[in-house]
Amino acid sequence: MRVKGGFTNRRRHKKVLKRASGFYSSNSRAYTHAVEMVDRALAYSYRDRRVKKREIRALWNQRINAAARINGTTYSRLIGGLAQAGIELDRKSLALLAITDAAAFAAICKHAIPAHGEGLAKQA
């Protein structure tokens, strides 16, 4: 005896088409196209949740580097100096300080630059 999908198929199709609403052309209307586009969108969203973290960290590094150069050093020297001075600030906090409180960032740079300079003198 043949069994038709009926309610189950309709429910599955509606779920996919609801996720595909807003897609271009038949990708939001035709079930077969919508399935492909929804699968691809889910794969991209999984991947890009991880990519977003990389991009945000890169943005923090750029902001820290720009503020560090204003204060007469570079990103790598600043980070190295902070490590040697024992100042444990993460890059998110440093980037926020660089944007919002330039005086506090400059004070941190003053503590980090001598520490990094001493490290270079020990190595030579």
Per-residue pLDDT, 61: 98
Domain boundaries, position 77: 7-123
Q: What confidence tens digit (pLDDT) does each residue in 73-117 have?
A: 999 999 999 999 999 999 999 999 999 999 999 999 999 988 766
| Stated pTM of the model | 0.75
Residue 108 lies in a domain: yes
Q: How many domains does the chain have?
A: 1
Cα separation, 97 vs 67, whole angstroms: 9
Is residue 1, in this structure, part of any structural domain at all? no
Question: What's the pLDDT band for 2 if we cut at 50, 70, 90?
Answer: confident
Percent of the chain with pLDDT over 70: 92
Instruction: For the chain, count helices (H), then strands (E).
Output: 5, 0
pLDDT exceeds 50 at position 65: yes
* Euclidean distance between CA atoms 89 and 95, whole angstroms: 10
Does any domain span residue 2?
no
Query: How much is the pLDDT for 113?
Result: 83
Q: The domain that contains 48 carries what CATH number?
A: 1.10.1900.20
Percent of the chain with pLDDT over 90: 85
